[in-house]
Homo-oligomer: A and B are copies of this chain.
Amino acid sequence: MAKFNIDIAKLELAASKLRAISHPMRIAIIELLSGDKHLSVTEIYKALEIEQATASHHLNILKSKGVLISKRDGKKIFYALRSNTLTEIIDCINRCNDN
C-alpha cells in the first residue's frame, strides 16, 4: 500500500475534462459563447475564422466532455455553454497571470 492512494480512473477523468478546455481555439469558443449565447456552427467558424470541419471537431470535443450542449433547429445546430462556471475557471486562470 502506498502512502498515497492513486485512483487512475479519477485522474484520467479530471485530466480529460481539463484537456477539453486546454486549447486556444476551444477557449476562444468558450469565450465566444459566454453570456449564454447560442450560436450555430457556421456562426462560430466564421467568427473564429477557421475551417468548418475544424470547428465541428472542437465543438464535438467540448460537447462530449460536457462543456457544451447543442440543439438542432432546422438545418442549423446551435451550441451553448452547459454552465458558466467554465467561463469562470478560464477567467480565474487568466487572472493568475502573476508568474
Interface positions of A (Cβ within 8 A of B): 2-4, 6, 8, 10-15, 17-19, 21-28, 31-32, 47-49, 65-66, 82-83, 85, 89-90, 92-94, 96-97, 99
Contact = CB atoms under 8 A, between A and B. Distances in A.
Copies held by the complex: 2
Contacts of A17: 93, 96
A23 to B, nearest CB: 6
Nearest to A23: B15
Nearest to A25: B11
Contacts of A83: 96
A14 B90 contact: yes
Nearest to A18: B22
Given A18-B21, A23-B15, A2 B93 contact: no
Contact of A97 (B13, B18, B23): B13
